[in-house]
Amino acid sequence: MKKYSVAVVGATGAVGEEIFRVLEELDFPVGDVLPLGSARSAGLEIEFKGRKYKVKELSESTFSEHEVDIAFFSAGGSVSEKYAKFACDSGAVVIDNTSHFRMQPDVPLVVPECNPDDVKEWKNTGIIANPNCSTIQMVQLLKPLNDAFGIKRVDVSTYQAASGAGKEGMEELVYQMQKFFEFKLDECEPKVFAHRLALNVIPHIDVFLDNDYTKEEMKMVNETQKILHKKIEVSATCVRVPVLRSHSEAITIHFEREVDAAAAREVLSKAPSVVVIDEPSKKLYPMPSISSDTNETYVGRIRSDNFDKKILHLWCCADQIRVGAATNAVRIAQIWAGEN
């Protein structure tokens, strides 16, 4: 079987580390491994399949000095903007976890359960974009429901974990929780988040735009339409909550026709990478404690609207680092490898 040389830019970050774990778990045919970071982590070691690899500093010549088939980028938009082209020029496919290329018309934006055929468009630029974490778990549910019943509009409120802000975000939340138990919470100066996150919720992720939505909220609008190839109306409120690594979402879906909850539950129970947990009388519904460290999106609380038979409400949870980033990226690589 052909093996692929894999580089991970941001190998020491929350998503980069998880990419190695998922590559191993999904038994991706990896040949050479090239972990890349900034000067800060050059020389550190990462472990993959029982072997240790030294992290190298990313530079403009990295991809001409090493043969790479697949380059995962998860070190932030500015790093992708500057360095992705060098990987593409050397012939590698770039699977980019940042928002930098997502809305570029010639760059495919892929959730394998929704639009796997779009991977073919990687040849346009050499880049395949991985969507925003909140978008991924939502479209995994919207796609089968739209195919079955037709969706007109979606209203979503997110409850997003600290992991969405990387390792520093998770560390900031843990630190603040420690300070709480020392009765020193008022000493916490927020650095990563706009306000203290411990014992708080913050309705502000990424920057505010002229239309009064945040950039994170508009990602959910624009990316959903691009992935599903349909101008579904989406309105989002994105909120940071003091959870470590799984995002939750309360989603209201407006269908083109009447849909009952049982029919929607049936459709979702057959959807790929989706697990239905929906027995509220037994206290069974998705929660971050269930979805964390898994590759599935969990959905429950599926119920009809009290007033309009064309509206359903549901609740979902998925691990932001895996489903929302690393697992989606590796699944894209699996499709790409099947064709190249």
Q: Any idea which residues carry the catalytic annotation?
A: 133, 247
> In the beta sheet, which residues pair with residue 252?
155, 313
Buried b (16+ CB within 10 A) or exposed e, 216-239: bbbbbbebbbbbbeeebebebbbb
Whose Cβ is closer to ligand A2P: residue 42's or residue 287's? 42
Give the chain's largest Cα–Cα span: 63
Which parts of the chain fold into alpha helices (H)? 14-25, 62-65, 77-89, 133-149, 166-181, 215-228, 261-269, 288-291, 327-339
Whose Cβ is closer to ligand A2P: residue 28's or residue 83's? 83
Whose Cβ is closer to ligand A2P: residue 35's or residue 144's? 35
Cβ proximity of 30 and 36 under 8 Å = no
Residues 262-301 vs ligand A2P: string with x where CB under 6 A? ----------------------------------------
137 labelled binding-site residue: no
Whose Cβ is closer to ligand A2P: residue 14's or residue 111's? 14
**Does the protein bind ligand A2P through residue 41 (CB under 6 A)?**
yes
Residue of minimal CB distance from ligand A2P? 13
Whose Cβ is closer to ligand A2P: residue 193's or residue 213's? 193
If we measure between CA atoms, which residue out of 265, 298, 301 comes closest to residue 281?
A: 301
- Interface residue with ligand A2P among 4, 6, 7, 13 (CB under 6 A) is 13
176 labelled binding-site residue: no
160 labelled binding-site residue: yes
Q: How many CB atoms lie within 10 A of CB 260?
A: 12
**Does the protein bind ligand A2P through residue 75 (CB under 6 A)?**
yes
- Interface residue with ligand A2P among 4, 30, 37, 115 (CB under 6 A) is 37
Residues 184-223 vs ligand A2P: string with x where CB under 6 A? ----------------------------------------
Cβ proximity of 136 and 145 under 8 Å = no
Cβ proximity of 302 and 331 under 8 Å = no
Whose Cβ is closer to ligand A2P: residue 13's or residue 144's? 13
Cβ proximity of 43 and 128 under 8 Å = no
Residues 164-183 vs ligand A2P: string with x where CB under 6 A? --xxx---------------
d(CA 220, CA 299): 18
- Interface residue with ligand A2P among 5, 32, 38, 261 (CB under 6 A) is 38
- Interface residue with ligand A2P among 7, 14, 129, 234 (CB under 6 A) is 14
**Does the protein bind ligand A2P through residue 324 (CB under 6 A)?**
no
Strand 45-48 vs strand 51-54: parallel, antiparallel, or unpaired? antiparallel
CB of 311 to ligand A2P, least distance (A): 37
Cβ proximity of 87 and 7 under 8 Å = yes
| Tokens of residue 257, six digits | 């026709």
Binding span for ligand A2P by CB under 6 A among 3-11, 258-266, 275-283, 329-337: 3-11
d(CA 215, CA 236): 10
Q: Is 233 helix (H, G, I), strand (E, B) or coil?
A: strand
125 labelled binding-site residue: no
Positions in the binding site for ligand A2P (CB under 6 A): 9-16, 37-38, 40-41, 58, 75-76, 79, 166-168
